[in-house]
Amino acid sequence: MTTPVRDALADGVPPLTGDVLAIRGGRPLRGRVDVKGAKNLATKAMVASLLGETVSTLRDVPAISDVAVVRSLLEVHGVRVSDGDEPGALVFDPSDVESAHFEEIDAHAGASRIPILFCGPLLHRLGQAFIPDLGGCRIGDRPIDFHLDALRKFGAIVEKLPSGIRLSTGGARLHGANIHLPYPSVGATEQVLLTAVRAEGTTELRNAAIEPEIMDLIAVLQKMGAIISYEPNRVIVIEGVEKLRGYDHRSIFDRNEAASWASAALATDGEIFVGGAKQQEMLTFLNVFRKAGGWFDIQEDGILFRRDGELKPVVVETDVHPGFMTDWQQPLVVALTQANGRSVVHETVYENRLGFTDALVKMGADIVVHPRGLQDGPRRVPRRDLEQAAVITGPTPLHAADIVVPDLRGGYSHVIAALTAEGESRVSGVDILSRGYEKFLTKLDAVGADFDVIR
Ligand SMILES: CC(=O)N[C@H]1[C@@H](OP(=O)(O)OP(=O)(O)OC[C@H]2O[C@@H](n3ccc(=O)[nH]c3=O)[C@H](O)[C@@H]2O)O[C@H](CO)[C@@H](O)[C@@H]1O
Ligand SMILES: C=C(OP(=O)(O)O)C(=O)O
């Protein structure tokens, strides 16, 4: 059954499991979309509320499924979650955490990556934690060894179960630690922050990730009473305190969503104003966007994106902040299929994040993936063992195809490819997009995309 778009969009209905988008492409996307709080901050700030003795308020929380998963996990642990005093605000009351029963936790297995960040807060509050198997995008192995090594250094006892992990403090308070991460992992840095703030003594974290979302989490924790200093060369020092209070915080905007819509404007030769996007957190993206033939205008309340003539090839290396973020590359690759010449995207963060290009090739793109990366040429980022490279030769007209969404950003890029292609494509598995794109169908409609939802 084909549901008329307007009906399907009432209240920004997210795509449901089994929904297929019938997309008629070949026309520019034009209009305005607004981005709210970042998926990669909001979910972590929600976990931080567990550390406080009093109520926390988080503002600009995006209505995405990862937020729903974390909300449900907090509720399982006894946190009362309610609407705040403005749209998009959520209030977290952790006063009943100690008396909660969390037998239903297994039901949350495989839903998101955030459960691993419950370890420190739960160990501080309850002396024990059970963490179900993690979900998130399947873009490589995604081990959690840095997390578990760090937790052991704080004094936690870690037991791996056939599914999930059990942790305990063995009755003692967790203590500060000296931790050097083998790689500046975002999640492991957050793990250390969320654990060290209430550990006894000082923690020194070296080779920390310094993404803007991590800085925003540090701001949240400081509001709660934590003492955290950020020093040169990726060093973060945390002086543990006994108690923390709740916070009132407005989330940093979602720069990954903003970059996705910017690439959509580039790929379809359209013009999209992204309300809520800010320049500082997107400097690296904006440089690449401009080099690829994009034009942007930074305004008070957002950024306007469009093409500036012919698209040009670029060489991009994904990296940790302040490098070009890995979550930005997939939508950009779609635009690069329309650039005049040969682009190279080196994926250095994950070992399997170019699988989405298979569908683009099916649609007519000329993309060759080198699973072990390219050896030649001077590189800004040192090669990692897990590097892959995609060589994209354009411009190639894209044609319609039936495609299945593999993951969050790969899925977004498939939708954009279908909107760039001539003819009607069928894109299935689009419910994954609800993990990170709020009101996705409503926004597609707002920029003039021609599609139907088949439910
Ligand atoms: C919810 C969230 O915030 N997700 C973001 C977070 O993911 P996430 O926090 O999972 O990403 P990490 O920065 O931890 O991962 C980076 C690399 O480190 C490796 N690694 C990580 C932990 C570990 O214990 N062992 C290990 O080997 C990973 O396999 C990967 O190759 O940062 C990524 C990198 O900016 C983004 O793509 C994700 O959107
Ligand atoms: C990889 C991503 O998310 P997660 O870490 O939640 O899977 C992403 O947002 O692109």
Query: What is the pLDDT averaged over residues 246-259?
Result: 98
Any bridge partners for residue 343, and if so which?
A: 392
Which tens digits make up the pLDDT trace of 335-344? 999 999 999 9
> Which DSSP category does 116 fall into?
G
Give me the mean pLDDT over the 266-278 stretch. Answer: 98
Residue 380, pLDDT > 90, answer no
Q: What is the CA radius of gyration of the chain?
A: 22
**pLDDT of 314 strictly over 90:** yes
Contact between 79 and 94 under an 8 Å Cβ cutoff? The reply is yes
Q: Is the pLDDT of residue 443 over 60?
A: yes
Strands (E), 300-449: 302-307, 315-317, 341-347, 366-370, 388-394, 402-404, 424-428
Determine the average pLDDT of the residues in 427-444: 95
Is the C-beta atom of 322 inside 6 A of ligand 1?
no
Ligand 2 center to residue 244 CA distance, Å?
A: 29
Per-residue confidence (pLDDT) for residue 395, from 0 to 100: 98
> In 3-state terms, what secondary structure has residue 22?
strand
Per-residue pLDDT, 141: 83
pLDDT of residue 133: 86
Percent of the chain predicted with pLDDT > 90: 83
Query: What number is the average pLDDT over the span 200-229?
Result: 98
Cβ burial of 162 (10 Å; 0-12, 13-18, 19+) is: exposed
Contacts of residue 262, Cβ cutoff 8 Å, sequence gap at least 6 = 272, 274, 277, 285, 289, 294, 296, 303, 305
Q: What are phi and psi of 332, to 5 degrees?
A: -65, -35
Please determine, for residue 164, whether its predicted confidence score (pLDDT) is greater than 60: yes
Tell me, what's the pLDDT at 193?
Answer: 98
Residue 66: the pLDDT is: 93
Statement: residue 185 has pLDDT above 80: yes
Asked if the model's pLDDT at residue 1 lies above 90, the reply is no
Atom 4 of ligand 1, residue of closest alpha carbon: 40
Q: Whose CA is nearest to atom 10 of ligand 2?
A: 327
Among 242, 153, 156, 280, smallest CA distance to 206 is for 153
Residue 4's pLDDT is 57
C-alpha to C-alpha distance for 226 and 56, rounded to whole angstroms? 15
List all residues 6 or more positions away from 375 whose beta carbon is below 8 Å from its beta carbon: none
176 lines ligand 2 (CB under 6 A): no
In the structure encoding, which two tokens stand for residue 343, read together?
């682009």
From residue 13, give the alpha-carbon distance in Å to each of 20, 65, 103, 414, 453. Answer: 14, 12, 31, 20, 11
Is residue 187 lining ligand 1, measured as CB closer than 6 Å? yes
Task: Write out pLDDT tens, residues 283-298.
Answer: 999 999 999 999 999 9
Find the 192 Cα to ligand 1 centroid distance in Å: 14
Report whether residue 392 contacts ligand 1, using a CB cutoff of 6 Å. Answer: no
The residue among 113 and 388 whose pLDDT is bigger is 388
- Is the pLDDT assigned to residue 101 strictly greater than 90? no
pLDDT at 384: 78
Mean pLDDT of 52-58: 98
Who contacts 157 (Cβ-Cβ below 8 Å, separation ≥6)? Answer: 167, 168, 169, 170
pLDDT at residue 2 greater than cutoff 60:
no
**For residue 54, what are its two tokens?**
């009093």
Mutate to test the pocket of ligand 1, among 39, 210, 349, 381 (most ligand atoms within 8 A of CB): 349
Q: How many helices and strands in the chain, by DSSP H and E?
A: 13, 24
102: pLDDT strictly greater than 80: no
In the residue annotation, 119 being an active-site residue is answered as no
> Residue range 331-338: average pLDDT?
98
Position 10 confidence tier, pLDDT thresholds 50, 70, 90:
low
In sequence order, what are the residues at sequence separation of 6 or more whose Cβ sits closer than 8 angstroms to the Cβ of residue 186?
A: 40, 209, 211, 213, 214, 320
Instruction: Please give the domain boundaries of the chain with CATH numbers for all domains.
Output: 2-35+253-454 (3.65.10.10), 39-250 (3.65.10.10)
Average pLDDT, the chain: 94
pLDDT at residue 136 in the model: 81
Give 343-357 pLDDT, tens digit per residue: 999 999 998 999 999
Look at residues 238, 150, 172, 155 and name the one whose alpha carbon lies nearest to residue 201: 238
Would you give the distance in Å from CA 303 to the centre of its chain? 20
CA angle 24, 26, 28 (to 5 degrees): 110
Q: Is the pLDDT higher at 374 or at 213?
A: 213
